């Protein structure tokens, strides 16, 4: 049976760093509030000229280099993003062109902060089906463009960035199992409820969130998804070396690890430096720990997404 494995990881953070203190000079907030409620200390923000496909390009180049593959050898590109360069063409097609490749399949996938896990599961299915041999799976976002910088309840929480993995066909997993879920009846608790119609913005182009409700649902579904994917993979939670939940809030991450009985040392945390980068957060965190030599070949890693839609999911992977 054909399976897929992660052959390389890469990430990119735009160079501009904005600290909590800098935000506190512009609005009624404080480093103490942001750190206490979220664990966030700073975020990277894209420069005006940088688009999602630009961030994706840097992360993808690094992942391809780590995998020892050229862009031409990848026959599928999936970009998870809620902040695409354009309405169309897809950011994946723009990325493919920037990578100098052509001919393979390329499409975007929109599952907000669960986007990377959804994209990974999708690419894994293509490889398992035998229709594709290698895939570039990217999570890339410029959330700073959809934030209302006058709304302190949301704008302090997010950052920009991109992460990528290269999946290749393998005899052994790799990706053991993935679970994906959604509950569209909760669409209203986290949304950007606007669109463009006849050249005019209809609704709101800014992110809106009922933070308390998102928090409660996130802790519940991250716990459920972890247990479900662990059972589907036949790998006990105690055997998981690293837990990488979507990096939204340190309190959500710590609550999840605690509920699952996983020690704090096995929890990957990057939200303190990256803030919430939506679909980019999981591959950014994965790449950071791989390059630091902390996540090693053979380690079992649980990747988890949760966010707007409402969507959630998890994958259990041997590196
Ligand atoms: O990717 C998934 C999406 N997002 C998440 O997972 C986020 C989930 N939710 C959360 O992380 C938390 O709910 C927040 C961090 C968003 C908020 O934390 P909270 O402990 O639920 O605070 P709160 O919304 O109940 O607000 C508490 C107080 C309010 O003041 P009053 O009404 O008590 O006087 C807010 O106005 O904190 C105030 N507040 C702020 N104060 C200083 C809200 N934002 C800020 C701020 N600085 N930036």
Average pLDDT over residues 12-19: 98
CA dist 284 and 92 (Å) reads: 18
| pTM, to two decimals | 0.97
Q: How confident is the model at residue 196 (pLDDT cuts 50, 70, 90)?
A: very high
- What pLDDT was estimated at residue 165? 98
Q: Which domains does the chain have, with CATH numbers?
A: 3-172 (3.40.47.10), 176-318 (3.40.47.10)
Nearest atom in ligand 1 to the alpha carbon of residue 218 is 6
- What pLDDT was estimated at residue 258? 97
Q: How many angstroms is it from 127 CA to the middle of ligand 1? A: 41
Q: How confident is the model at residue 244 (pLDDT cuts 50, 70, 90)?
A: very high
Model confidence pLDDT, tens digit, residues 116-132: 999 999 999 999 999 99
Q: Which of 93, 113, 132, 249 is catalytic?
A: 113
- What pLDDT was estimated at residue 33? 98
Nearest CA to ligand 1 atom 21: 212
- Strands (DSSP E) contained in the chain are 3-12, 16-19, 42-45, 76-80, 105-109, 134-142, 160-170, 175-182, 190-191, 194-197, 200-203, 208-209, 242-245, 300-307, 311-318
What is the average pLDDT value for the chain, to the nearest integer? 98
Nearest atom in ligand 1 to the alpha carbon of residue 214 is 8
Percent of the chain topping pLDDT 70: 100
Model confidence pLDDT, tens digit, residues 144-176: 999 999 999 999 999 999 999 999 999 999 999
Nearest atom in ligand 1 to the alpha carbon of residue 251 is 11
At 202 the three-state DSSP class reads strand
Nearest CA to ligand 1 atom 10: 211
- What pLDDT was estimated at residue 92? 98
Q: Which of 93, 246, 249, 274 is catalytic?
A: 246
Measured from the CB, is residue 29 less than 6 Å from ligand 1?
yes
Model confidence pLDDT, tens digit, residues 257-278: 999 999 999 999 999 999 999 9
DSSP category for residue 276: B
Q: Which of 44, 155, 176, 276 is catalytic?
A: 276
- What pLDDT was estimated at residue 161? 98
Measured from the CB, is residue 153 less than 6 Å from ligand 1?
yes
Model confidence pLDDT, tens digit, residues 58-88: 999 999 999 999 999 999 999 999 999 999 9
CA dist 243 and 185 (Å) reads: 28
- What pLDDT was estimated at residue 236? 98
Q: How many angstroms is it from 212 CA to the middle of ligand 1? A: 7
DSSP category for residue 319: -
44 annotated active-site: no
Q: How many angstroms is it from 153 CA to the middle of ligand 1? A: 5
Q: How confident is the model at residue 90 (pLDDT cuts 50, 70, 90)?
A: very high
Nearest atom in ligand 1 to the alpha carbon of residue 155 is 48
- What pLDDT was estimated at residue 237? 97
Q: How many angstroms is it from 140 CA to the middle of ligand 1? A: 25
Nearest CA to ligand 1 atom 45: 153
195 annotated active-site: no
- What pLDDT was estimated at residue 87? 97
Measured from the CB, is residue 190 less than 6 Å from ligand 1?
yes
Measured from the CB, is residue 249 less than 6 Å from ligand 1?
yes
Measured from the CB, is residue 255 less than 6 Å from ligand 1?
no
- What pLDDT was estimated at residue 60? 98
CA distances from residue 133 to 77, 89, 296 in whole angstroms, order as listed = 12, 24, 24
- What pLDDT was estimated at residue 297? 97
- What pLDDT was estimated at residue 215? 97
Average pLDDT over residues 285-293: 98
246 annotated active-site: yes
CA dist 93 and 99 (Å) reads: 10
Nearest CA to ligand 1 atom 20: 37
Pocket test for ligand 1, best of 215, 219, 311 (most atoms within 8 A of CB): 215
Q: Which residues contact 277 (CB under 8 A, 6 or more apart)?
A: 139, 141, 143, 158, 159, 160, 161, 247, 284
- What pLDDT was estimated at residue 259? 97
């Amino acid at each position: 049976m054909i399976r897929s494995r992660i052959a390389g990881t890469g990430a990119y953070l735009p160079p501009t760093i904005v600290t909590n203190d800098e935000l506190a000079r512009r609005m009624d907030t404080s480093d103490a509030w942001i750190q206490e409620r979220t664990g966030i200390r700073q975020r990277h923000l894209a420069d005006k000229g940088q688009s999602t496909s630009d961030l994706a390009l840097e992360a993808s180049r690094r992942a391809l280099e780590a995998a020892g593959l050229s862009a031409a050898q990848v026959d599928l590109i999936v970009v998870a993003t809620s902040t695409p360069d354009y309405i169309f063409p897809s950011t994946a097609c723009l990325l493919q062109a920037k990578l100098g490749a052509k001919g393979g399949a390329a499409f975007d996938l929109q599952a907000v902060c669960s986007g990377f896990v959804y994209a990974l599961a999708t690419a894994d299915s293509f490889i398992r089906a035998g229709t594709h041999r290698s895939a570039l799976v990217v999570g890339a976002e410029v959330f700073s463009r959809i934030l209302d910088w006058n709304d302190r309840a949301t704008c302090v929480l997010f950052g920009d960035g991109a992460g990528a993995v290269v999946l290749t066909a393998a005899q052994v997993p790799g990706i053991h199992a993935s679970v994906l879920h959604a509950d569209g009846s909760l669409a209203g608790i986290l949304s950007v409820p606007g669109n463009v119609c006849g050249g005019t913005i209809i609704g709101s182009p800014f992110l809106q969130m009922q933070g308390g409700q998102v928090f409660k649902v996130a802790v519940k579904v991250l716990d459920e998804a972890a247990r479900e994917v662990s059972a589907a993979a036949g790998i006990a939670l105690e055997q998981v070396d690293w837990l990488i939940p979507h990096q939204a809030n340190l309190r959500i991450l710590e609550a999840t690890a605690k509920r699952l009985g996983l020690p704090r040392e096995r929890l990957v945390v990057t939200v303190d430096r990256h803030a919430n980068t939506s679909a980019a957060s999981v591959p950014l965190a994965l790449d950071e720990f791989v390059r630091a030599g902390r996540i090693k070949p053979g380690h079992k890693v649980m990747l988890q997404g949760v966010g707007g839609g409402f969507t959630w999911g998890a994958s259990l992977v041997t590196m």
